[in-house]
Amino acid sequence: MKLKYIATFAVSIFSISIGFSQIPENIKKEIQYRVKNKINPSIAVGIADSTGTYYYVHGLKDVANKLKADENTLYEIGSITKTYTGLLLAKYNVTDSLDLKTPVNNFLPDSITLTDKKGVDVTLKSLSTHSSGLPRLPNNMDLQNQLNPYAEYSRKDMYTFLSHYIPKSVDKKFEYSNLGAGLLGDILSIYKKDSYKNLLQKEVLSPLALKATFLNIPTTQTENFAKGYLGNQEVPHWKFKLMEPAGGLKTNIKDLVKYGKSYLNPQNPLAKAQKVATSVQFTDQEMKKHGLGWFINEDDIIFHGGGTGGFRTFMAVDKKNKRVIAIMTNSGSSSVEDIAEYIIDPKKNPIDFTPKAIEITPEELMAYEGNYINDGLKLSYDFIINENTLQAQLSGQPEFPVYYQGESTFFYKVIKAKIVFERDENNTVVGLTLHQNGQEIPFIKTTP
């Protein structure tokens, strides 16, 4: 299991410029190491630029049955789905002259009024740019079901929540909202009097010839669908009702890269819509730019990440330098964005390559044994020695071995995380910091 709450539909901000074209050998070795040490069951990476399109896939799509992943293996892509939904909105803006500033109240029952306290209406654009003032998730979801939190959430449930909700300041602040993306897709289905699935297929997937991208996996493709994992535990594939437009798509590395490449092709049938979708539609309180479903960095690179219970994905499209980077894994606990960012620009985004374990004596290990706490987060971290190996257990999580890499630092093999122990002036261990997914969580030792 992962060492923090499931990061649903995760995203990140980064610097990007010209990096590698073909997939470098040190990255292949890092991928092999992570797979060998069961950090990630499989990893698929793709690069496209002026020299060609390159893929590298390593690991297992099904651990129990030892089935290898390949370029046709399907992964859940989570929030990257929002870029497809944003493109669908942009398509109707271009072909139907659907105004992006259309109030969503025009499509909702009279029992719902999505207008903030200053009288500003939530619009189609504000839903797609996360500036609607709607929360990340509604409070009437079954969040107890962390393994499949969106499976039963319906339009009726959403209407019940929205009928009592007053949006925060609309178009003033960025607040990431899976609910807003789900609502947008549902409104588009109301607008066109057809299902979101049919609209996406007709208006986006078919025109771009994305033949391996699905909301529902057809029976002919089930053998290609990777199993999802959280740590070493297999977890269910996520199911969706209303929230499909926020995170329901599945695809393979070839189709994901193909989708990214379409944004570099001014002759493709959706080029005008893609221009709308990737133009700056909203600048937030931190001066960060947003398109329709896309994040736009300071170099005008569009990007998005995605995460479901058992999968993590990431892609970036550099239109100026005509490059696409995409990466996928069937691990919900071990991100691979660091690999993609390193490929993009190794100087700006240095990777923390997985270290090799160093031998340490049982006597030396004893210094790290004990209980550590973080009062603010109500977390407890226990360390014991078992068969000359330090075992770590965070509150509510299984026990995992950690391995010494030198300088009072240990690392996990089952996830991408490390623990840096702290010593006082007497060289006594007094605390630690957990480093995982860009977070640093301090703990104080409670036992001598």
Confidence of residue 21 (pLDDT cuts 50, 70, 90): low
Angle subtended by helix axes 25-36 and 337-344, to nearest 10? 170
Q: Which of 312, 344, 376 is the last residue of a domain?
A: 344
Residue 322 lies in a domain: yes
pLDDT digits (tens, 9 = 90+) for 258-280: 999 999 999 999 999 999 999 99
| 99 located within any domain | yes
Per-chain mean pLDDT for the chain: 92
Is residue 16 within 8 A of residue 344, CB to CB? The reply is yes
What Å distances lie between residue 167 and 115, 180, 288, CA to CA?
Answer: 6, 11, 21
**Final residue before a domain boundary, out of 287, 316, 344:** 344
Same domain for 340 and 370? no
| Dist. CA 222–CA 203, nearest whole Å | 24
Using the predicted structure, report yes or no on whether residue 3 has a pLDDT greater than 80. no
One domain, residues 167 and 316: yes
Do both 130 and 274 map to the same domain? yes
Same domain, yes or no: 395 and 300 = no
Most confident residue range from 2-6, 127-131, 393-397 = 127-131
46 burial via Cβ count (<10 Å: 0-12, 13-18, 19+): buried
Nearest to 11 by CA among 90, 94, 77: 77
Answer whether residue 14 shows pLDDT above 50. Answer: no
Determine the average pLDDT of the residues in 97-105.
98
In a domain, 153, yes or no: yes
Q: What is the pLDDT of residue 438?
A: 75
Do residue 303 and residue 203 come from a single domain?
A: yes
pLDDT of amino acid 13: 37
Average pLDDT for 214-226:
98
- Domain with residue 208: its CATH number is 3.40.710.10
Same domain, 244 and 286: yes
Instruction: State whether 209 and 334 are in the same domain.
Output: yes
Average pLDDT over residues 375-397: 92
List the one residue out of 57, 32, 42, 5 whose CA is nearest residue 329. Answer: 42
Residue 16 domain-assigned? no
Instruction: For residue 216, give its domain range.
Output: 25-344
Nearest-angstrom CA–CA distance, 407 and 417: 16
pLDDT tens digits along 304-358 = 999 999 999 999 999 999 999 999 999 998 889 999 988 888 888 777 777 788 9
- Which of 23-37, 123-137, 138-152 is modeled with the greatest confidence? 123-137
Q: Are residue 394 and residue 270 in the same domain, yes or no?
A: no
Asked if 127 and 116 count as a contact pair (C-beta separation under 8 A), the reply is no
Note whether 126 and 132 are within 8 A (CB).
yes
Do residues 378 and 425 both lie within one domain?
A: yes
Count H helices and E strands in the chain, helices first: 11, 21
Q: Does some domain include residue 257?
A: yes
Q: How high is the pLDDT of residue 299?
A: 87
* pTM for this entry: 0.83
- 258, 272, 201, 87: CA torsion to nearest 10: 90
CB 294 within 8 A of CB 282: no
Instruction: Provide mean pLDDT across the span 178-192.
Output: 98
Which residue's structure tokens are 């049982």? Answer: 362
- Contact indicator for 53, 328 with CB cutoff of 8 Å: no
> Do 258 and 321 sit in the same domain of this protein?
yes
Q: CATH number, domain at 390?
A: 2.40.128.50
Say if 308 falls within a structural domain.
yes
Residue where one domain finishes, among candidates 311, 344, 377? 344
Same domain, 273 and 395: no
| 8 domain-assigned | no
Structural domains of the chain, count: 2
